[in-house]
Amino acid sequence: MPYEGAEVMSEAAELNARLRDAEPQAILRAAIERFGDKVALVSSFGAESAVLLHMAAQIDPNITVLFLDTGMLFGQTLDYRKQLAARLGLTDVRDLRPQFQDLAVHDPSADLWKSDTNACCNIRKVLPLDRALAGIEGWITGRKRFHGGDRLRLQVVEQGEHQVKFNPLANWSKAQIEAYAAEHDLPAHPLVAFGYPSIGCWPCTQPVQDGEDVRAGRWAGSQKTECGIHTPRAEPPIEVGGDI
Ligand code: SF4
C-alpha cells in the first residue's frame, strides 16, 4: 500500500508535536529510526549543507543522500559535493540528473531558464527528485525558518504528499549554524567567501549585499522564490520523458 494521504498527515502531526522543540540530532535520529532504509536526506551541497550532512553522517554514514545535479550548477558545487561527501564518510550520495528526453524535447539549447524558470526547474529538479523519492517515506530537508518567505512558517515535521518531511534545522538561527560549522571545522562552500549565502544553479544565483535576505540572490528580480520541489503538486507535472 502506498504511504500517503491521511496516514502521512496523522503521523507527521504526531511527530511534529513530539519533536518540534527537539535538537536537530534528535530529529534526525527519530527520522532514521522510524523510516530506516526508506528515509533520504535531500541536499544541495550548498552554503549551509555541511552542518546537516555532518550530523547525519554521525548517526548513519550510510544514509541515502539525494543531490540534484541539474546540469546548471557551479563547478565549485560539484567539487564541494565530492570533497565533502568523502570528508564526512557518506557512502550513499546519489546524483540525480535530468532525463535526456526531457532536455532534448524541452530544453535542447540549455537556455529554458531564460524564458520559463518554472519549466526549467520542473525538468531539472522536480521530476528527477520525484522519481528518486518513489518508495521513500521519510524526507529530510535542510530548510530553516530564518531563510524567510514561506519558510517563516516551517514546521519541524510536516506532511508531504507521499512522505513525512523532517526539517531538523527549522528552529536554528544562522549564528547556530555557523557555530556548529566552526566547532566541527566543517569546510565552507567556496562561493560563500564571494558573497553567496545561498547557492543554486549559476544562471539563477547571485551574490547578495550586506543586510539582504539569505535567499535574495536566488532568481533575483523575479517573483520566484522556490524551485518547486517543496510545492504541493496541485497539477500533474508537464508530460515529459519516460520512466526510469
Ligand atoms: Fe533552471 Fe534556474 Fe531552476 Fe536551475 S534554478 S533548474 S537553471 S530555472
DSSP 10-39: HHHHHHHHHHTTS-HHHHHHHHHHHHGGGE
For ligand 1, the distance from its centroid to the CA atom of residue 11, given in whole angstroms, is 33
pLDDT at 199 over 90: yes
**Homologous superfamily (CATH) for 5-193:** HUPs (3.40.50.620)
pLDDT at 241 over 70: no
DSSP state of 73: B
Cell 498527515: give the residue: 9
- pLDDT computed for residue 16 by the predictor: 97
Question: Which residue has the least CA distance to atom 3 on ligand 1?
Answer: 121
pLDDT at 239 over 70: no
Minimal CA–CA distance to 36: which of 60, 11, 66?
60
Q: In sequence order, what are the residues at sequence separation of 6 or more whose Cβ sits closer than 8 angstroms to the Cβ of residue 167? A: 27, 140, 141, 142, 143, 144, 154, 155, 156, 157, 158
Global pTM reads: 0.93
- pLDDT computed for residue 105 by the predictor: 97
For ligand 1, the distance from its centroid to the CA atom of residue 218, given in whole angstroms, is 10
| Cell of residue 4, nine digits | 500517503
* Count, residues in the chain: 244
What confidence category does residue 234 fall into, taking pLDDT thresholds of 50, 70 and 90? low
What confidence category does residue 1 fall into, taking pLDDT thresholds of 50, 70 and 90? low
Indicate whether residue 200 lines ligand 1 (CB < 6 A): yes
- Which of 120, 121, 201, 227 is an active site residue? 227
Q: What's the whole-number average pLDDT of the chain?
A: 92
pLDDT in tens, 7-25: 888 899 999 999 999 999 9
Tell me how far apart the alpha carbons of residues 226 and 150 are, in angstroms, rounded to a whole number: 9
pLDDT at 236 over 60: no
CA 1 remoteness from chain centre: 26
pLDDT in tens, 46-84: 999 999 999 999 999 999 999 999 999 999 999 999 999
Domain boundaries, the chain: 5-193
Indicate whether residue 72 lines ligand 1 (CB < 6 A): yes
pLDDT at 175 over 50: yes
Indicate whether residue 203 lines ligand 1 (CB < 6 A): yes
Average pLDDT over residues 21-42: 97
157 CB burial (10 A radius; 0-12, 13-18, 19+):
buried
For ligand 1, the distance from its centroid to the CA atom of residue 50, given in whole angstroms, is 22
Indicate whether residue 199 lines ligand 1 (CB < 6 A): no
227 is catalytic: yes
Give the ligand 1 atom nearest the CA of 202: 7
The type of residue at 157 is: V
